[in-house]
Amino acid sequence: MGSFAIDLPLRNEWENVERVRASVESVCLAMGRSAERGQAVGMVVAELLENAIKYGDWSRSEHFRFRLWGESERAFVVVENPVRDDDPEAAILARTMEWIEGFATPAEAYRASMLASAEGAPASLGIVRILYEGRCSLRIESSAHLLRVIGELPLDDAS
């Protein structure tokens, strides 16, 4: 299978999350991937887009960047959104990733997050869901006025 790429500036509108998610699922199906894998890739993309819209600093710009590309059996997704210099979101994401790494598997972190949510405690369901259901690895980078979340996930059902 060859490579593919999508690179879009997106407006910070909630409707765009569903538009892009559905498009990504369709692209996966058109490439011959299973419906389940297309849904997983779409879910990862949607969760990352939702985080960008929810935590972005929209006083600077109404747009953020979304990239998705694939090479062989792997897909890569990058979402970049503007943030304030003093925005705690990058630190919160870093702490969430450290918390998740304290579990033996993403499945255990997912269960713990679900239990915490059911008990009314703050939970990072979106990030844990990306790791568990999407079988995705995440990396977070931040710099002046920019938060970048980078994911890597399989395009096949087996890995």
Is 159 domain-assigned? no
**Domain that includes residue 46, residue range:** 4-154
Confidence tier at 101 by pLDDT (50, 70, 90): confident
Q: What is the CATH number of the domain that holds 111?
A: 3.30.565.10
Position 122 scores a pLDDT of: 65
Is 71 domain-assigned? yes
Domain count, the chain: 1
Is 74 domain-assigned? yes
Residue 87 has pLDDT above 90, yes or no: no
**Tens digits of per-residue pLDDT, 104-136?**
988 898 888 888 888 876 667 788 889 888 999
Is 80 domain-assigned? yes
Distances from the Cα of 141 to the Cα of 58, 77, 93, 134, 147, angstroms: 19, 13, 10, 20, 6
Position 121 scores a pLDDT of: 67
Percent of the chain with pLDDT over 90: 50
